[in-house]
Chains A and B, each alone.
Chain A
């Protein structure tokens, strides 16, 4: 398994993905579930990166389907703040991605995880090219 680490911060209702579902993702994937994505704070995203994640996927319910009405909207706004912070400190904001996922749709969840990894690999590739330029 790759040493690349991705953190997923999501609400309980988004998915029931297990380690088995994510086995096809060539990265170390760590899932942290919250009672609602509206409870995911900016600092949770940053701390996931401090703890070694090179990219963070935040997943909430599709707009209008959040159990707590506005949880995923709140999460998306916090993702934006975290992205701005990354930009300020010279890291690529694309390392943090927000996804609105149909409830309990493991397929969509796994695809979002793959997209997060792909975005990260692009960033890492670009960095390597810049170093050698």
Chain B
């Protein structure tokens, strides 16, 4: 999932400083799962902002909504009506949601309420760990399913650095050296010979060369307005 974290409240207060009526819109996708932008976080932020503004002698009215997702246009439709009732919107979706909403409703002032952090897993309650960097050319079939790009502090592709000590990372000793883990994993699986293969240089073009990445599936586009006009 995409992992995010609420921005510091003073930063959000500064964004909404000129306004007297806003909406906070959460998302029931990834940010709800990582407890940064779901229904509960919308309630908490709204209450905190109201308290802060009351304390500052400038009360604020806040509408609270949570959409199923904010990365699909159809779920963002209610913004049309909400934006008529408020001066600005704070979105607790990830950066994808805020961008999508801002693309679709350029006249509406939409501000981010979270910092989008990484693609991560949720190994235990209240704990999220980065596992993928979204580089677009996955190599983890060669590394026992463990990604050295996301999980090595130096993004190394050819084994551990000289600083790896007793299976721990030199940059962050609380983190295991992923290359140590890769070796141990492949050895246990009887696949260590994969590390003796010479890999071609990694293709970094899919990682974002040439600007924002996009993916088109024409077979899924039959219902698009653009296509049906053709």
Contacts and interface: CB of A to CB of B under 8 A. Distances in A.
Contacts of B8: 88
B40 A90 contact: no
Interface string A72-113: 000000000000010011110000000000000000000000
Which secondary structure dominates where chain B touches chain A? helix
Interface residues of B, number: 14
B52 A46 contact: no
Which secondary structure dominates where chain A touches chain B? helix
Nearest to B126: A77
Contacts of A49: 51
Given A41-B40, A50-B54, A89 B9 contact: yes
Contact of A88 (B9, B47, B50): B9
Interface string A1-36: 000000000000000000000000000000000000
A47 interface: yes
Given A88-B10, A89-B9, A43 B52 contact: no
B51 A46 contact: yes
B47 A50 contact: yes
B44 A89 contact: no
Nearest to A46: B47
A46 B48 contact: yes
A119 interface: no
Interface string B14-58: 000000000000000000000000001001100110111011000
A85 B48 contact: yes
Nearest to A89: B52
Interface in B152-197: none
A91 B54 CA distance: 11
Contacts of B54: 50
B40 A89 contact: no
B124 to A, nearest CB: 15
Nearest to A48: B47
Contacts of A43: 40, 43-44, 47
Given A46-B44, A50-B50, A88-B8, 10 more contacts: A43-B40, A46-B47, A46-B48, A49-B51, A50-B51, A85-B44, A88-B10, A89-B10, A89-B52, A90-B55
20 contacts: A42-B44, A43-B40, A43-B44, A46-B47, A46-B48, A46-B51, A47-B47, A50-B51, A50-B54, A85-B48, A88-B8, A88-B9, A88-B10, A88-B48, A89-B48, A89-B51, A89-B52, A90-B52, A91-B51, A91-B55
Interface of A: 41-43, 46-47, 49-50, 85, 88-91
Interface of B: 8-10, 13, 40, 43-44, 47-48, 50-52, 54-55
